[in-house]
Chain A
């Protein structure tokens, strides 16, 4: 009873945090709020305001609310990260089902493909993909999907190993002997009851990795002053918050609240991942 209550709690937390990101991405403005000059016309109105002066998160050096950054960043990452996570989960389910179905040649082929795909550093492949993408396709979705495809081999290995530990074909045969049909055996017994903890954790981890990948790539573009490769020039990523924080650290500018917000958003994504993992734990 206590265990079920604990699980329900983590399901609520994980879905709540995911909903927060989805709502945030839906509410994100198309463009950042327009900057206003101060009365004297010499500087920006509302610049460098702290969260308690300009709720909820304060403003940047031009008076633009940091809430805009948070919402636009959510719009950039949420859907691609979610799709990437689902893609990895689908691959894992496939690998687990193949192991249970005992399709030897396919199992072998998947293992061989895993070996080759897993041989290269992922970020190198991502950058090559970014190079080859037409400029108008340079958004996070194709990059996230590339990352998911690169993460899939490891996830598939793990899912296949989990299915193997169940007994693979023998497990399926035993359930057939109980009179269960294929759909119930594969979808309920194999996937839902046994693979679920593994595939949900993998999906959540890839979601987190895609978000962190976007932040890394965007931070690098901001830091090296080059055009973004994960979003259009009219939107800002959470990485911009981190860069504001960096300039605060080295230049003494009053933007530590931007750094705090950036780190807080990363922590939120990390917490969401951990919550999914705890919610999907094996019974």
Chain B
């Protein structure tokens, strides 16, 4: 059975003024780390969002196909390319069932990405509810997730504003892995962190991905990290297979 979990072919995205992405192709495989690199503004984040069905530029998608072979055979972009904003909104609604469950997203600057009006525990509870197989004990599942990312159990009762920067980053990672995803997209997880914390967060992410057999898509500016951890490297516009 193929271990390809996400297959993007010939992605093309544009605004009215310019082409943002043209001809990007990559595949994410279970248990492998795919680094996405490129200059600032080259379209890394927008491509990552597009691979989750979130296209919020107009006219947006003008070509490409997207498949999640493990859960669906069809081209998820069918009927969207060149059809404008309404079709993209329909795509977003259609693919909501996969987001937060099959594929999750860990953003840069995690603390601003956590809902300020919900405790960490509540946010984890909502993510665990999106698992394909529900755990016997939600509280137990929350404790396990917190243990994996190195947060104390009492952090579950905290609001995001009560956490330090490092703890917020761990909490965002916990929220990303809580649904037991097949694919984890980490968008510049090291941004804004000191060198020590950067290393900790990256190692944590790799460990968690390895333990869960997750396909990790790592968007990064840090070439040292990319060289150290990536199995495959995608330069926005080119794909280079990594050496075994």
Touching chains A and B, CB distance < 8 Å: no
- Chain B residues close to A by CB (< 8 Å): none
